[in-house]
A and B are shown apart, each in its own frame.
Chain A
Amino acid sequence: GAVVSQHPSRVICKSGTSVKIECRSLDFQATTMFWYRQFPKKSLMLMATSNEGSKATYEQGVEKDKFLINHASLTLSTLTVTSAHPEDSSFYICSAGQGLNEQFFGPGTRLTVL
């Protein structure tokens, strides 16, 4: 199947700093990428849908100014957590699709905010 990568896999940062997470589709062009967040022992919650070349669509309750999403190319989407706080500590996962019946998920990024 298609491969989606995320970088970094783990990041620890101080409260108030910003963190950028990259999501790449390695062997296919993804017109749509999704960003999910998963808290411990909980299911994945969709944060936003990112379409190449247009603004992301955020789910209710997700602050667009705090979670900046850029989908500048068909193989790269980035999520920037701005002014991170301890409650933003979570497992962030992206997925990508392109006219396929299944989405492919990245391995996830573990964010810890001290």
Chain B
Amino acid sequence: DAKTTQPPSMDCAEGRAANLPCNHSTISGNEYVYWYRQIHSQGPQYIIHGLKNNETNEMASLIITEDRKSSTLILPHATLRDTAVYYCIVRVSGAGSYQLTFGKGTKLSVIP
């Protein structure tokens, strides 16, 4: 699986949009971009994934550049409960039977 690079930490004011970047310059054509987050002392939570088109769900939006070498996760209105470590992972598409390789992620702190 391709390697990803994320900033170690970010701050965001409550109510503002949080934009979390991820570089994945070695991504292959059949690899998706996944985002998970982990709130302290809990298991990771799936957020969103995409291949090349921008995606949006009830939690977030995912913007993938045209060359697919980077992406941005957007939390439109961050709340204190969004404080967590956010992981950007790229892996082949398909079955949930494919393992996920976690990097160090970005620790997002939402500030009141």
Inter-subunit contact A101/B49 (CB<8 Å): yes
By DSSP majority rule, is chain A's interface helix, strand, loop, or mixed? strand
Inter-subunit contact B102/A43 (CB<8 Å): yes
Inter-subunit contact B102/A102 (CB<8 Å): no
Residues of A1-19 at the interface with B, using a CB-CB cut-off of 8 Å, are 1, 4, 6
Inter-subunit contact B96/A44 (CB<8 Å): no
Inter-subunit contact B43/A34 (CB<8 Å): no
Residues of A contacting B112 in the complex (Cβ-Cβ under 8 angstroms):
none
A-B contact count (CB 8 A): 70
* A95 at the binding interface (Cβ < 8 Å): yes
Whole-angstrom distance between the alpha carbons of A114 and B38 in the complex?
Answer: 27
Inter-subunit contact B32/A93 (CB<8 Å): no
**Minimum C-beta distance from A103 to chain B (A):** 5
- Per CB-CB distance, the 9 closest pairs between chain A and chain B, nearest first, are A97-B96, A105-B43, A32-B97, A100-B96, A102-B46, A44-B102, A43-B102, A105-B44, A108-B43
